[in-house]
């Protein structure tokens, strides 16, 4: 069997498959279904400085080849994640975990990352810059190179572990933002976060989601994600984590050929809770089919 191992920012993964933040909770719920140590790692639920109840319901709308969500970063806050969620995770997951962090100011990001950086279980900090900047008129940190770089620098100043900046696809030039993060000290880039979508109920003539718009994810966005991963991977020299509509071992291979070192699986977890385990188990057969002996050797192989 070929080697599935990859190295993400200095930490070796048994395989490149990572459940994406917001679709895998804090891990232990899925551990009731299968041994989650089969995964490369996973990115836990987006965590903020303070507890958040999230957006009003309804928060979910189905659509062709995907879904729209506007959960609103519901989480218990970083203090409780450290005191309650991580100890429960430690009982069922022996590998380093990826801590996903969100914030509404540069200070929020720095505070939460500094706290999580001290936790032994945390291997990487995945910093989601798709959040609205409360001091910047609500514009997402990830839509401007300067703002994304400011968050990156602030987090790097207070942490020792690899910092991976998660970028939004809702921009005109994602490459310039990725390069700004790299220049500011980012150890990696992950992309893409959800696109912006909306559904309307024909009977009520009102938006289905209470928040009106939400994050569009699922197989429909896969080609956009592959394109952006390819663009960013060819523009930066730090590792890229690819995601967006991934739902099979073949998709993982395609993402890696585009330049991804590791690949996150998001919405597919909500359809099939075993999907990441199944992808890991399917990879050797797909590798054999395409005469791949070592996954790490195909990264960025599409020219």
Point out the residues that are catalytic.
131
Instruction: Tell me if 126 sits within 8 A of 99, measured CB to CB.
Output: yes
Q: Where are the beta strands (DSSP E) in the chain?
A: 6-8, 11-13, 17-19, 60-63, 66-69, 97-101, 122-128, 163-166, 188-191, 195-197, 200-201, 206-207, 214-217, 240-242, 262-265
**Residue 125 to residue 133: CA distance in whole angstroms:** 19
CA distance 182 to 173: 15
Please give the distance of CA 18 from its chain centroid, rounded to a whole number: 8
Could you give the CA distance from residue 109 to residue 117 in angstroms, rounded to a whole number?
A: 12
């Amino acid at each position: 069997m070929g080697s599935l191992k990859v190295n993400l920012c200095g930490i070796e993964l048994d395989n490149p498959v990572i459940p994406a933040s917001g679709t895998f909770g804090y891990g232990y719920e899925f551990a009731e279904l299968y041994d989650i140590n089969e995964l490369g790692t996973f990115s836990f639920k987006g965590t903020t400085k303070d507890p958040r109840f999230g957006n009003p319901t309804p928060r979910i709308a189905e659509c062709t080849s995907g879904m729209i969500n506007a959960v609103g970063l519901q989480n218990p806050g970083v203090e409780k994640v450290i005191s309650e969620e991580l100890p429960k995770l430690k009982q069922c997951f022996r590998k380093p975990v990826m801590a996903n962090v969100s914030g509404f100011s540069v200070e929020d990001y720095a505070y939460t990352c500094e706290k999580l950086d001290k936790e032994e279980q945390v291997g990487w900090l995945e910093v989601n810059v798709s959040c609205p900047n409360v001091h910047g008129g609500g514009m997402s940190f990830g839509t401007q190179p300067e703002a994304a770089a400011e968050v990156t620098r602030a987090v790097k100043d207070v942490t020792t572990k690899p910092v991976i900046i998660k970028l939004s696809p809702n921009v005109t030039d994602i490459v310039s933002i990725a390069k700004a993060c790299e220049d500011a000290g980012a150890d990696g880039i992950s992309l893409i976060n959800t696109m912006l979508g909306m559904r309307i109920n024909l009977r009520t003539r009102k938006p289905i989601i209470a928040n009106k718009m939400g994050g569009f994810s699922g197989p429909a966005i896969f080609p956009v994600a592959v394109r952006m991963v390819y663009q960013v991977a060819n523009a930066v020299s730090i590792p890229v984590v690819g995601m967006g509509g991934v739902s099979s071992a073949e998709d993982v291979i395609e993402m890696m050929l585009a330049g991804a070192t590791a690949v996150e699986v998001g919405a597919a977890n909500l359809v099939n809770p075993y999907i990441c385990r199944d992808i890991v188990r399917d990879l050797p057969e797909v590798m054999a089919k395409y005469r791949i002996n070592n996954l790490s050797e195909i990264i960025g192989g599409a020219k």
